[in-house]
Amino acid sequence: MIEEIRIENLGVIGSATVALGPGLTAITGETGAGKTMVLSGLGLLLGARADAAVVRTGAKQATAEGCFVVDPTSTVAERARDAGADLDEDGTLVALRTVAAAGRSRAFLGGRSVPQAVLAEIAEDLVTVHGQQDQARLRSPRHQREALDAFAGADHGAALAAYRAAWTERQRAADELASMVSSTAERAREAELLRLGLAEVERVAPLPGEDVELASESARLGHVEELRTAAATAHLALSGDDDGSPGASAAVELARRSLEGVAQHDPVLAGLAERLAEARYLLDDVAGDLVGHADGLQADPSRLEEVHRRRAELTTLARSHGGGSVDDVLAWAQDAGLRLLDLEGSEDRTVALQERLTELDARLHELATSVTAARQDAAARLADAVTDELAGLAMASAALEVRLRPLAELGPWGAEDVEMLLVAHAGAPARPLGQGASGGELSRVMLAIEVALATAPGSGAARPPTFVFDEVDAGVGGKAAVEVGRRLAELARQAQVVVVTHLAQVAAFADRHLVVTKSHEGGADVITASGVRHVDGEDRVAELARMLSGQEDSDAARQHAAELLERSVVGR
């Protein structure tokens, strides 16, 4: 619900506070006083496009601020929190919009700067605005379908939600199946390449680290004579030769003995003697290992050839699969095996998806049948309800028809489109809304539909809590105007309703009456802070008299105004 709107420097309005409340609020005033600017300010708060032309002449910027009372658990509150906005403790959500004379606009919600689109998004769940410019919405097949679905009630809404969920799941499954089918040839080629690659790896049968071991063996076999000569030379250096030339081992032993002879007199030399003994043992071990290794270094041309062949085979395999080493090849083979299993299992996945699509198609047709049946019932009831409402709105010979047009195949919202048609008068053909009907007639059709929706059992839960009507009484007068007021009052029992009107017959039904007045400042007509005021009692009678005759002090007009107020109270 809208609690209050504050406007500054918007159009002819210098400063105004519009305090609203539950029920029906009528906003009236002389032509040019700024009634539509009140709605323009509300439109800015609801995310409408900003236009620097609305900034009051001489002002730097226009400002519109609104206080909305929302349920803390509602989707509006949740979306506001997602945008970083804060709700007051009493559930009030404050929106602010500024429009600079230079053209820049800024939006704030709950104390946080937000994109204009956020205000427009939450507005869909806060307020429904009906004006001459909003009649295009009434002509929209989507809005006509939404109106019928809302009228059909909560059970239909649940069935439609189930249909939508099944439709979404089917679309995902169909897209996945189509993708798999379209890539069947590509997947087959990939699988064949993987099979060939894995077969080659299996034929070569590389072992982990085999290429490194073969490289070492190849280097050894290719330099046998050099290695044997080096080993022999090292052995002679350690052990000496047959001619009696001592080796390093004998020299170390001589050094040990020389120190051991005096070790009892010097602990340090004793320790060094022990270390020399250890060195002698180590040198003897190395000399023995050199002999054994040299004996094993035998030239083997056939083995060297085999090593070269195997290394070449492994190198070719590594270049084809994995990149650099045998270990890379083995890692590729492991990943390729898993990918091949996935590709070979795609056929099973395709069959499973086809079976799932068959199940979903059956489910969709079942749900679509239920949705269509509910819509058929609701279409007849909505047509009758709106036609009855039109009869009291000076359109006694008019009738609304709601038709369901079957689709060639199931769509995202069911098996049919919804079309509303208006029979303007007896004998006239049924035509789509907007063809052959005046703006005033369309306004009354909108009002009749909203009243029908608001009074239908179970259909009001999803409706916004506030309705705003501008020029809903265009082109009507007399008894029809009274009936417009009566139906606005009927709608106001279910929601907050704000109407901008120039008809006293409509304003008389309001629970709250606000008047936008003119004042003069510097020769220009402006609206001051006191320009929007709440009228009651005699002041309200005077305003209704002005609306009836143009004169507040006309006794006849005042008497007529008082009678209107009295009849409106009785007629509610």
Is residue 14 classed as helix, strand or coil in its secondary structure?
strand
Closest CA to 210 of 315, 62, 350: 315
The DSSP element (H or E) to which 10 belongs, if any, is strand 2-10
Residues 121 and 8 in one domain: yes
User: How many domains, the chain?
Assistant: 2
At CB < 8 A and 24+ separation, what contacts does 427-432 make?
430/401, 432/139
**Per-residue three-class SS string for 487-554:** HHHHHHCCCEEEEECCCHHHHCCCCEEEEECCEEECCEEEECCECEEEECHHHHHHHHHHHHHCCCCC
Residue 152 lies in a domain: no
| Residue 47: inside a domain | yes
Kindly state whether residue 500 falls inside one of the protein's structural domains. Answer: yes
Q: Are residues 122 and 234 in the same domain?
A: no
Among 324, 347, 366, the domain-final residue is 324
Q: Report the alpha-carbon distance of residue 43 to residue 487 in Å, rounded.
A: 24
CATH code at 481?
Answer: 3.40.50.300
pLDDT digit string (tens) for the chain, length 572 residues: 899 999 888 887 888 888 898 999 999 887 766 777 888 888 888 888 888 888 888 888 999 999 998 888 888 888 888 888 888 877 889 999 999 988 788 999 988 898 888 888 888 788 888 765 655 567 778 888 988 998 898 899 999 999 999 999 999 988 888 877 766 667 778 778 888 888 888 888 888 888 888 887 677 776 777 787 787 778 788 887 666 677 888 888 888 888 888 888 888 888 888 898 898 899 888 888 887 777 767 766 777 788 778 888 888 888 888 677 888 888 888 888 887 877 766 566 778 888 889 999 999 999 999 999 999 999 999 999 999 888 878 788 889 999 999 999 999 999 999 999 999 888 888 988 867 666 667 777 888 888 888 777 665 545 678 888 887 776 677 777 888 888 888 888 888 999 988 889 999 999 999 998 877 665 555 444 446 888 999 999 998 998 888 776 778 888 888 888 888 775 55
Find, among 355, 437, 327, the residue nearest to 393 by Cα.
437
pTM of this prediction?
Answer: 0.61
The Cα 568–Cα 1 span in angstroms is: 24
Decide if 170 is inside a domain: no
Residue 11 forms part of a structural domain: yes
In a domain, 253, yes or no: yes
| Residue 63 domain-assigned (yes or no) | yes
Report how far apart, in Å, the C-alpha atoms of 494 and of each of 64, 150, 322, 465 are.
27, 15, 72, 8
Residue range of the domain that includes 110: 1-126+466-572
Q: Go through 460-487 and write b for each residue having 16 or more CB atoms within 10 A of its CB, e for each that does not.
A: beebbbbbbbbbbbbebeeebbbbbbbb
What six digits make up the tokens of 231? 């080993």
Residue 397 falls inside a structural domain: no
Identify the CA nearest to 515 among candidates 491, 539, 488. Answer: 539
**Whether 74 contacts 81, CB under 8 Å:** no
Q: Which of 324, 358, 384 is the last residue of a domain?
A: 324
Does 229 share its domain with 122? no
The residue to which tokens 């890692």 are assigned: 331
Return d(Cα 474, Cα 480) in angstroms, integer: 11
Please name the amino acid found at residue 502: H
Of the residues 281, 307, 324, the one at which a domain ends:
324
